[in-house]
Each structure stands twice: as C-alpha cells, then as structure tokens.
C-alpha cells in the first residue's frame, strides 16, 4: 500500500486523534487485504481498544485466515494486471468474482470464530488493485463490496484508495495513520515501519518531541521482482526461506542496473506498482543480462530490495532527522536472506532491525489489521 502527505490533515493533531479514537469501547472489526502479489486474501478479525491517553489503539487478534486465489481467477486477474487487452465485460465479471473471493474469506473467518453480524462493527476491504497511476491521479481496485456485505450481513468500508487520490494523495491514506495509532511516537526515538509485500513501503514516525508529522511512501519493489523471477526461472511462486538467493552470488553489474531505476531518485510523496516493476521490466532485465545464472539473478534481486529500502531512508528520511529502529512486516520478513541483507545495510546507517512480532503484531497480518 502507498501513502501520501498531501492535502491531508496533520495525523498527530488532537482533533484527528480524537475522531479516530471516538469509539471509546473495544470493537471487533475485520480487515481484508490482498496486495500486489495477489496470491491470497488475508482476513483478520481483531478487537480494537482505543487508548486516548496514550494516543494509540491496542489490538487483540481473534483469528485470521489466508484464502488462496481460486485457480481459475488467478490467470484472468494477472492477464488484466499485466496490461493485456481484455473486454469491459471481463473487468465487470472480475469485479464480481473478486468481491465473492473476499466475501468467502470474511464469511469463513466469521464462521470459524462463531461471530454473528451483530458481533462485528464493520469490515474494511482494500480491494484488489489492478491498475495504479498516481501521476494521472487514478487508481482501480476490483472486488465489489456489496457482495461482501450481502454474504456477511456486516457493513463494509471500502474505496480507500480512490478517495485518497481524489483528495490529491497517492492512494493509501490508512498506512501512516494506522501505523501512528498502532505504534505511537516516542520522545527522542524515531521509527521506520517497513512493509515488504509485493511493493515495499515505509511509514516514517518521527520522535514525539519533533515538530514533524508522520509520512509514508513506497521505497520500490519488495517481493515483486523476486517472485516474478522465481515464476519465470524456477516455475515456483516464491523463494521459500530465501534458499535459492542464499546459494547464489550477487552480480554487481546487474545490481547497478537495478539501482539505476529512475523511481529511486523521485522525491516523495510517491508510489509504484506493477506498471514500473512488473513482468515487462523483469523480462527486459533478463534479456539484458542473459549471462547471469538464474541463482545469481535471485541473489541480486534480493539484495537489491534491501539496498533500495535503506537507500530511500538515506535520500529522503535521514537527512532531516535521526531514526533509531526499523520495524519490518509483510512477506519479506519471512525471507532470512532478504532480512540478512537488510540488517547488514541498516547497520551502516545506525538502525536496529526488528519485526512487528516485537509489538505483538503478526508480520503477515499487519496490513489486514
């Protein structure tokens, strides 16, 4: 998910926090999230307990499921996401089918936890992004919320990204706001909340004694290029436990070519997706570097993700303020090779690295929460 700091209220202002924490009693809500990898939708039921005094929301996860994308839907969805020409009728049908996929996840979760519609305050559904064009101020998510509401009997909140784009943002207003409420701010201690999904994005939480609001932006590809290379070269969906990257050698010429992508020099607020780092970009790289062994390609792509994250801090975050801790979540947190590269790069910048598990937040479920 991407976030913006343009045309939005100061997230740290008392009025905004008061509005967010206006639900004084704990409430059970369900979050539905499918990111740029589009391999599964995560459904998480969580009790949110506002703590106005601390300026935070405390969370208690009741349960979660990850519902894989139906096989017949996957091919049709990726054809659309990779900009292959499809008729409008196909987009219309996909909107319904993705809505039903999300609805099934929420319904199965409620059944497994014995939750009735009266038990759940609302369901938040991000939808499945199929096109994101921030420079043109447009974005498209499929997954009709009406099907979710009809199947579960619960009110559904959706279209977060479109509303943010309409307000001049980059398309994900929930990221910095929720990170502020989940992690809070500390005096003299700055945190960087780093999600590594298909795309990697960071929320910057300045120390509480610094007069600067939190902000967020996409640092670049997270697992997208790694997963794409695994599918293309190894016919596997991902590099489980970073095993293949771990046995490969980093190719410096390929690494330099990756780090030369113009996105990395672009000033925040900014966001990206498959349009910049999808299959077309990967195929161009593979054609440009046919001599590089496939294990070495994986090793290089994995190190590239880590370097692009820390370089973004050095370019756009650390020149202004000092930050002390990187908190990692998302699928990338489960890749030991990627995490090793990330910790090594962060050490040179004086950052300690932990995962959201240190805050009792499941790395995989944080975005759904």
Kindly tell me if the per-residue pLDDT of 12 is higher than 80: no
Report the alpha-carbon distance of residue 61 to residue 81 in Å, rounded. Answer: 32
Average pLDDT over residues 65-92: 90
Report the alpha-carbon distance of residue 110 to residue 123 in Å, rounded. Answer: 11
Six-digit token pair at 111? 């059944």
Average pLDDT over residues 70-98: 90
- pLDDT for the residue 16: 52
Residues across the chain? 369
Neighbouring C-beta atoms of residue 240, cutoff 10 Å: 11
Report the alpha-carbon distance of residue 216 to residue 101 in Å, rounded. Answer: 29
- pLDDT for the residue 55: 67
| Average pLDDT over the chain, rounded to an integer | 90
Report the alpha-carbon distance of residue 40 to residue 318 in Å, rounded. Answer: 35
Q: Is 357 helix (H, G, I), strand (E, B) or coil?
A: helix
- pLDDT for the residue 6: 36
Report the alpha-carbon distance of residue 179 to residue 1 in Å, rounded. Answer: 12
- Stated pTM of the model: 0.86
Q: What is the pLDDT of residues 168-224, one digit of tens each?
A: 888 877 788 889 888 888 899 999 999 999 999 999 999 989 988 889 999 999 999
- pLDDT for the residue 3: 37
Q: Please tell me the least confidently modeled range out of 21-25, 139-143, 241-245, 262-266.
A: 21-25
Average pLDDT over residues 233-246: 96
- pLDDT for the residue 275: 87
Q: Please tell me the least confidently modeled range out of 62-66, 112-116, 125-129, 163-167.
A: 163-167
Report the alpha-carbon distance of residue 317 to residue 1 in Å, rounded. Answer: 19
Kindly tell me if the per-residue pLDDT of 18 is higher than 70: no
């Amino acid at each position: 998910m991407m976030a913006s700091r343009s045309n939005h209220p100061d997230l740290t202002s008392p009025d905004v926090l008061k509005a967010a924490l206006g639900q004084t009693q704990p409430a059970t809500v369900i979050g539905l999230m499918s990111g740029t990898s589009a391999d599964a939708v995560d459904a998480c039921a969580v009790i949110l307990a506002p703590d106005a005094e601390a300026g935070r929301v405390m969370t208690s996860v009741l349960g979660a499921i990850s519902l894989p994308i139906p096989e017949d839907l996957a091919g049709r969805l990726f054809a659309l996401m990779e900009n292959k020409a499809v008729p409008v009728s196909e987009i219309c049908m996909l909107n319904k089918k993705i809505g039903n996929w999300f609805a099934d996840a929420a319904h199965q979760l409620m059944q497994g936890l014995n939750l009735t519609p009266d038990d759940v305050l609302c369901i938040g559904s991000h939808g499945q992004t199929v096109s994101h064009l921030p420079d043109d101020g447009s974005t498209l998510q499929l997954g009709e919320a009406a099907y979710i509401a009809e199947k579960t009997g619960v009110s559904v909140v959706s279209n977060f990204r479109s509303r943010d784009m309409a307000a001049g943002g980059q398309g994900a207003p929930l990221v910095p706001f929720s990170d502020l409420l989940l992690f809070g701010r500390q005096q003299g201690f700055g945190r960087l909340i780093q999600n590594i999904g298909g795309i990697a994005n960071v929320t910057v939480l300045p120390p509480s004694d610094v007069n600067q609001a939190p902000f967020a932006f996409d640092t670049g590809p997270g697992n997208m290029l790694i997963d794409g290379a695994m599918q293309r070269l190894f016919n596997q969906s991902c590099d489980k436990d970073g095993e293949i990257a771990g046995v490969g050698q980093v190719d410096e010429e390929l690494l330099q070519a990756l780090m030369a992508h113009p996105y990395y020099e672009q000033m925040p607020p900014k966001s990206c997706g498959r349009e910049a780092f999808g299959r077309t970009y990967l195929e161009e790289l593979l054609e440009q570097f046919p001599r590089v062994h496939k294990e070495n390609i994986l090793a290089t792509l994995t190190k590239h993700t880590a370097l692009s994250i820390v370089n973004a801090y050095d370019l756009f975050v650390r020149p202004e303020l000092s930050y002390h801790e990187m908190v990692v979540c998302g699928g990338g947190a489960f890749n030991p090779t990627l995490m090793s590269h990330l910790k090594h790069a962060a050490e040179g910048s004086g950052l300690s690295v932990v995962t959201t598990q240190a805050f009792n937040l499941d790395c995989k479920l944080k975005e759904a929460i």
